[in-house]
Amino acid sequence: MIFTISANTGGWELFVNSLLPMITGAIQYTIPLTLITFVLGILLALLIAMMRISNSKVLHVPAVVYVSAIRGTPLLVQLFIIFYGLPTIGLTIDPFPSAIIAFTLNVGAYASEIIRAAILSIPKGQWEAAQTIGMSRSTALRRIILPQAVRVSVPPLSNSFISLVKDTSLASLILVAELFRKAQEIAARTYDFLLLYVEAAIIYWVICFILSLVQTIIEKRLDRYVAK
């Protein structure tokens, strides 16, 4: 009796009854999609940032082109190329993996710029101090520079993370049954667009609100990393 949703279902009842499918969509797809792509995206971003600050042209140039291409084209277009475009050349990828690929490429590009800027913001004296105790460039980066860069990049990366939560709603357009697609499906049956889309918006808001609390906690814990 709980999930009978039809055109006749009333406002409040519809709101309550739609909650479970939408939250299920969030738990099954929105949140995993966000977490997986964020982790993969950060790893990719680290790699790209390293390539960009390296002195080697062979590493530097592809990284610059990649970042420029991803940032210069709409995310929705990238999603469509991967999901609807690639099958044309015989490469068919399921909705969820398609979304993972597109969002990872996206996070990788934007976050690489954040990480690169954070690395460059660490004073030159830190590199020099590391060198004078005999560290190679890569050891200095790993032990001295990155831990400090992490603290600098937490606020902008949190922004990217929260944007990513909301961007995952675009995956509804390549048939991923995430939160917003659930809202769309119910709305298609009940025609109560306002109520259902506002409800979806509220759920996104709650998720993002919780995430910004987590961000504050992380920043406090990393505060000791900062020279005052």
Partner 1 sequence: MFLSIKSLAKSFGDNQVLKDIDVNIEKGKVLSIIGPSGSGKTTLLRCLNSLEEPDKGIFTFNDGLTLDFEKKISKQEILKLRQKSGMVFQSYNLFPHKTAFENVTEGPLIVQKRKKAEVKELAEELLEKVGLKDKMNLYPHQLSGGQQQRVGIARALAMEPELMLFDEPTSALDPELIGEVLTVIKGLARDNWTMVIVTHELQFAGEVSDEVLFMDGGYIVEQGSPQQVLKSPKEARTQQFLQRILNPA
Tell me which residues touch partner 1 (CB under 8 A). 123, 125-126, 128-136, 139, 143-144, 147-148, 151, 224-228
Q: Which is nearer to partner 1, 148 or 169 (CB)?
A: 148
The rounded distance, in Å, linking the Cα atoms of 126 and 132 is: 10
Distances (CA, A) of 70 to 8, 46, 47, 90: 45, 16, 16, 23
The torsion angles phi and psi of 191, rounded to 5 degrees, stand at 60, 15
| Contact (CB, 8 A) for 40 and 224 | no
Least distance in Å: CB of 153 to partner 1? 14
Provide the 3-class DSSP secondary structure of residue 8. coil
Least distance in Å: CB of 226 to partner 1? 7
Q: Which is nearer to partner 1, 98 or 148 (CB)?
A: 148
Least distance in Å: CB of 223 to partner 1? 10
Q: Which is nearer to partner 1, 151 or 181 (CB)?
A: 151
Least distance in Å: CB of 77 to partner 1? 41
Distance of CA 99 to the CA centre of its chain: 11
Least distance in Å: CB of 176 to partner 1? 40
Give the contacts of 121 (CB within 8 A, at least 6 positions apart): 149, 152
Q: Which is nearer to partner 1, 144 or 164 (CB)?
A: 144
Q: Which is nearer to partner 1, 157 or 183 (CB)?
A: 157
Q: Which is nearer to partner 1, 99 or 122 (CB)?
A: 122
For the chain, count helices (H), then strands (E): 10, 0
| Contact (CB, 8 A) for 78 and 106 | yes
Q: What is the DSSP string of 117-172?
A: HHHHHS-HHHHHHHHHTT--HHHHIIIIIHHHHHHHHHHHHHHHHHHHHHHGGGGG
Give the contacts of 134 (CB within 8 A, at least 6 positions apart): none
Least distance in Å: CB of 123 to partner 1? 8
Q: Which is nearer to partner 1, 92 or 136 (CB)?
A: 136
Could you tell me the two tokens for 98? 């398609």
Least distance in Å: CB of 160 to partner 1? 23
